[in-house]
Structure 1
C-alpha cells in the first residue's frame, strides 16, 4: 500500500519563523531527523506498544486522509475509504493502515498489563465506546459500543494497581468511572473538584493531569489547583495550594505536567514531586477567539506532594510555551517539546510555534535546570504528539489546528510527517559511555520486591558509582499530556566489574508494589554518567 507522495509546502514559512523567534540563549544539543514525510494521517493520539510499534490515530469525521484502507475497504455507509489510524513499525520505519469505526477525536487511553491499548471515548458516535488494539501483523481495532457509563470527551485515564483503568472527567462529565467494569450496575461517582475547577468561559479543566501516588491514591490537577484523591472511597484526602498566580494550566490553556522520577528506597518512595509547566493566562481563550493572541506562560510550578505542608516553587522557563509536551527521558531529565508561544489550544487559536525543545534537569541547582535544545524546522502546534522510543529517541508527530486537512493558504498547514528528536545523550561522542544491557533479556518477567541482577557492557572508561537502573512506563499521549507516564529509579548499590574488560553488573531491587509500579510493561534502562542504554522491555508482575 503506497502512501501519498504529497508533502505540505512550508519551507519559507519555517525559515521566517526561525528568524522571527530567535532563541534567547544558545541551543545546547540534540538533533532532528525526519523519518517519513507523510504517514497519511495527522497523529493526534500516540501510544508506544511493547513490540516497538506505535499506534496513532486522528478524527474519523475529518474527511479523507492521505492513506487508503487496505484491500479496498471503506467505512460502513460511507464513501470514505481512507484510514484514520495507523501502526508505525519503528524497526522497519513503515506504516500499516488500521480501521477505526467510531469517532476517536480527543479521546484517552491506557496500555493495559497484557500489552493491549484500551482506548476510551471520543466524540459523537464515539462518546461511550471502548476500543481495544492488540498488535500483530494483521490485527485491527475492536470496538465495544456503550462500554462506558458516561460520555467521555477530553478525559484523562490512568492504570490502577488492580489492573483496571480509571477514566476521569471530560467535557460536561464531572465524574469518573472504571474499565473494565466489575458489574453492569457499577456506579459513576461524582467528582465535585471538576465542577469547582470548571471555568464557564473556557472550562480549563479538561484533560486533567492525573498521577498515581505511591500510596495508591491519585494526584489530580485541573485548571490551577490539585487534590489527593481516594478513588475507592470517593474522598478528597488533601487539597493542595492554588498554583501561585492562579493562571490556568489545563485544556484549553494547555500546559503540561510530569510526575518527577520516583526514587525507590526500600519499600517506599520518600519524596514525590510534580512539575507543571506552561499554559495560557486567564482570558486567553476568549481573546484568541477574537483574534487577540496572548503570550503563553513561561513559568513552571514544582511541588513536593509528599510533604505534610506542600508548597509550590516557581521557576521560569527560557521559552514561554502553550500546548507543549513534557516527556520523561530515561536518565531522569524532562524534555519540554512542541507547542506555541501565544494563544491557546483550539482550531486556529495558537500562534508562533516554539521550535526548540528545552531540557529540564530536576536534580540541578535552581538557575541551572533549563537548557534550550536545537530546533526543528517543523511547527508542532495544536494536536501534536510525542512518545519515548526504546532506543532513547523521542518520536514526534501530528499538528493540525484546522477542522479539516489543510495544506495550503493557511498559517500552519496540517502536518503528516513523523520525525525524531535525539537528545544529546545519543551523540556519537558519548558512544563509549553508553551501556548495553545483556541481562535480563527482553520481555523478562520481574516480580515485586525481588533482587535483580543487571549485567551490561560499556566500551569506554566506567565510573562505577554513576550507574543506575530506571524503568519507564510507556505513556498514552494526546493534547500535551502523557497519561500513565512515570519513571522509577530502582533501589540498588554501585555497579561492579565482573567478566572481561567491559562487562559489569549492578544489583537492584524490583519495585515493591503495584502502587509504585502497576503491573504491566516497562522499558528498563541502565544509565551511566547520565547516558542511558537502549531500553529492554520487561513485564512487571
Structure 2
C-alpha cells in the first residue's frame, strides 16, 4: 500500500532502473514513477550511486541522417566539431547515386547542420577511411576549407575495405569484396603528394581471409590494420591468422601467428592502446547469422616481421557483434553497443551496457546502460573533453522505391546519438588544465612543452590520434603514453617516440591526466614527418 507522502522518479530512466521498478511493482502516473517516500529516497540514492560508479549518458542528440560514419574535424587549439555521414540518402543505401548525405555537430553549441555532397561524384558509403598526415580525410575532405574534392581512383574497386595511414604518410588499403569483383583484392598504396594509387601485387589478400558461409564477398571485409615501422602494416584480424604486410616495391606479406585457433572475429573491435599493444574483443565467426563472441585478446608487436605475442584475456561479460571500441586518455578501453547475435539491420539481442577494460588489472567492468541499441552501422568516437560519442545504427538497402527498407524505418533506424561520460569524470576530482603549448606542431622524436594550471606533479600525459570510424573500424585511433622528461613547476617537457611508425603523422589529442585519473580537455597537436 502506498503511503500518503509520495516521491516521484522520472519515467525516463535507464533500462536497468526500469527493470528494478517493475520488479518492485512501482506504478507510473503520467511521466513519473510514484513510490513511497522512503523507498523513493532509497531508490534515488541507489540509482545515483550506480550512475556515479558506472558513468552516465547524456540526452539523445537528433541528426538529420543516420550517422554510419564519423570523423573528428581537427582544429586548433581544441577540436570541437564532428562530421558524420550516411549514404546517398539520409536513411538508405544502394546503387551509385553520386551524392552523400552529411551532417556536422559543434559540441560547444550543440548546433547540428546538414549538407549534401556531390563534389566527389560518388556515394561515400562503406569506404576505407583514413585521416591523412595533413588532416585531410580520404576521399578527400579538407578541414581547413570544409570542401570536398575527388581523389584518384583506386586500381581495384572496393567496398568494406580497411585502410591505414603509413609511417611515410602514404595510405595502405586491402580487401573490400563487398563491392566489385568478389576476390583477389590485393593491397594498394595511395601517395597523397602524387594523388595516385599503386597496386601491390605481392600484398596478397589470401592470408587474411576469414571463413564465411555467405562466401568470398564477406571474407576480406574490415581488416584490422595497424601501421608500424618502415612502412609496414600489422594485420591483427578479423581472421584467425595474423600477418605482416609490406608496402615497398611490389609489396609483400608474411605470417605473424594465430590470434585465436577457434574463431574468426568478423566485425570485432580492436585498438592500439599503448605502444605495440593491441586489444581485440567480440565479433562473430560469420558476418551475418552467427552468435556473437565475448572473447578478448591482448596482442603485442615489436620487430617488423616477427611473430606477434598473443595473450587470451578474460572474456567480456556480454557477447558482442557489431560493437565499437574507444581508447580513453587513461589507457582504459571502452566497448560500446553490439548485439549478442550477428544479424544486420536488426536490433536482435542488443547489448545496452558498455564495458570498460583496464589493462593494468585485466578486468572488464560493466557501466551504465544506453537507452538505444547501437548495432550494425553504429559508431563510437572519442571527443576532446574525454567523453565518447556513440550513435547510429540501421540504414537499410533501398532500390529507390522505398519498399525494401520500409521495415527499418521505425525499428532499427537510429538517426541519433548520445555522449557517454566515463567514470573518471563522475568523481569530485578536478580536471588538470593545459593552459598552453609552446608549439602545436612537432615531429617523431620531437618535444612538446606544455603549461599546466597548478602543479604538474603527478600528472601524466597521453597522445591519442584523432579518429575516423565506420563499420566499427577506426584505424586512425591509437594511444601513446608520454612520461614528462622534465617538470619545473607548471612547465612540462614531453618527448615523443622517435619512430613515425609509432607516432603516425597527422593530428593528435594531447591529454593531461591527473594522479586521480581525471583527463584534461585535450589540446590538438600536429605530428609532421
Calculate the TM-score normalised by the size of structure 1: 0.77
One of 246, 255, 280 as aligned partner of 2:268:
255
Match of 1:455 in 2: 451
Q: CA deviation at 1:521?
A: 1.1
Gapped runs of 5+ residues in structure 1? 1-10, 66-75, 120-130, 263-271, 289-293, 499-503
CA distance, structure 2, for counterparts of residue 201 and residue 222 of structure 1? 15
Q: CA deviation at 1:522?
A: 0.9
Match of 1:470 in 2: 462
CA distance, structure 2, for counterparts of residue 355 and residue 47 of structure 1? 23
How do 1:112-191 residues align onto structure 2 when only pairs under 5 Å count?
Answer: 112-119=132-139, 131-136=140-145, 139-144=146-151, 147-171=153-177, 172=182, 174-180=185-191, 182=194, 186-189=198-201, 191=203
Question: 1:302 aligned to 2:311?
Answer: no
Asked whether the 8 Å contact 1:17–1:352 carries over to 2, the reply is: no
Asked whether the 8 Å contact 1:194–1:222 carries over to 2, the reply is: no
CA distance, structure 2, for counterparts of residue 190 and residue 236 of structure 1? 4
Match of 2:385 in 1: 391
Question: 1:352 aligned to 2:368?
Answer: no
Q: CA deviation at 1:178?
A: 2.2
Q: Deviations over 1:219-252 (max 9, x none)?
A: 01342221122221455564233233431112xx
How do 1:50-129 residues align onto structure 2 when only pairs under 5 Å count?
Answer: 50-51=74-75, 52-60=80-88, 84-101=101-118, 102-119=122-139
Asked whether the 8 Å contact 2:166–2:232 carries over to 1, the reply is: no
Q: CA deviation at 1:300?
A: 0.4
Match of 1:532 in 2: 519
Match of 1:277 in 2: 281
CA distance, structure 2, for counterparts of residue 183 and residue 104 of structure 1? 18
Calculate the TM-score normalised by the size of structure 2: 0.78
Structure 1 residues 86, 241: CA separation in 2 closer, same or farther (over 3 Å shift)? same
How do 1:390-409 residues align onto structure 2 when only pairs under 5 Å count?
Answer: 390-400=384-394, 402-403=396-397
Q: Match of 1:430, SS? A: coil
Q: Match of 2:160, SS? A: coil
Aligned positions, number: 461
Q: Deviations over 1:242-281 (max 9, x none)?
A: 233431112xxx211111212xxxxxxxxx2222100113
CA distance, structure 2, for counterparts of residue 539 and residue 488 of structure 1? 14
One of 212, 220, 243 as aligned partner of 1:205:
220
Asked whether the 8 Å contact 1:41–1:58 carries over to 2, the reply is: yes
Q: CA deviation at 1:511?
A: 3.1
Asked whether the 8 Å contact 1:169–1:206 carries over to 2, the reply is: yes
How do 1:473-512 residues align onto structure 2 when only pairs under 5 Å count?
Answer: 473-493=465-485, 495-496=487-488, 498=489, 504-512=490-498
Asked whether the 8 Å contact 1:359–1:372 carries over to 2, the reply is: yes
Pairwise CA RMSD of aligned residues? 3.3
Asked whether the 8 Å contact 2:284–2:342 carries over to 1, the reply is: yes
* Larger-Rg structure: 2
CA distance, structure 2, for counterparts of residue 525 and residue 187 of structure 1? 38
Asked whether the 8 Å contact 2:130–2:137 carries over to 1, the reply is: yes
Structure 1 residues 93, 227: CA separation in 2 closer, same or farther (over 3 Å shift)? same
Comparing 95-104 with 406-415, greater Cα deviation is found at 406-415
Structure 1 residues 235, 90: CA separation in 2 closer, same or farther (over 3 Å shift)? same
Asked whether the 8 Å contact 1:258–1:327 carries over to 2, the reply is: yes
Q: CA deviation at 1:419?
A: 1.1
Match of 1:34 in 2: 59
Question: 1:244 aligned to 2:255?
Answer: no
Q: Match of 2:449, SS? A: strand
Q: CA deviation at 1:520?
A: 1.8
Asked whether the 8 Å contact 1:257–1:277 carries over to 2, the reply is: yes
CA distance, structure 2, for counterparts of residue 355 and residue 168 of structure 1? 32
CA distance, structure 2, for counterparts of residue 407 and residue 135 of structure 1? 38
Q: Match of 1:111, SS? A: coil
CA distance, structure 1, for counterparts of residue 226 and residue 18 of structure 2? 35
Asked whether the 8 Å contact 1:393–1:422 carries over to 2, the reply is: yes
Asked whether the 8 Å contact 2:89–2:101 carries over to 1, the reply is: no
Q: Deviations over 1:402-449 (max 9, x none)?
A: 335978887843111121001111125122xx21002316x7112332
Structure 1 residues 18, 485: CA separation in 2 closer, same or farther (over 3 Å shift)? farther
Q: Match of 1:425, SS? A: helix
Match of 1:47 in 2: 71
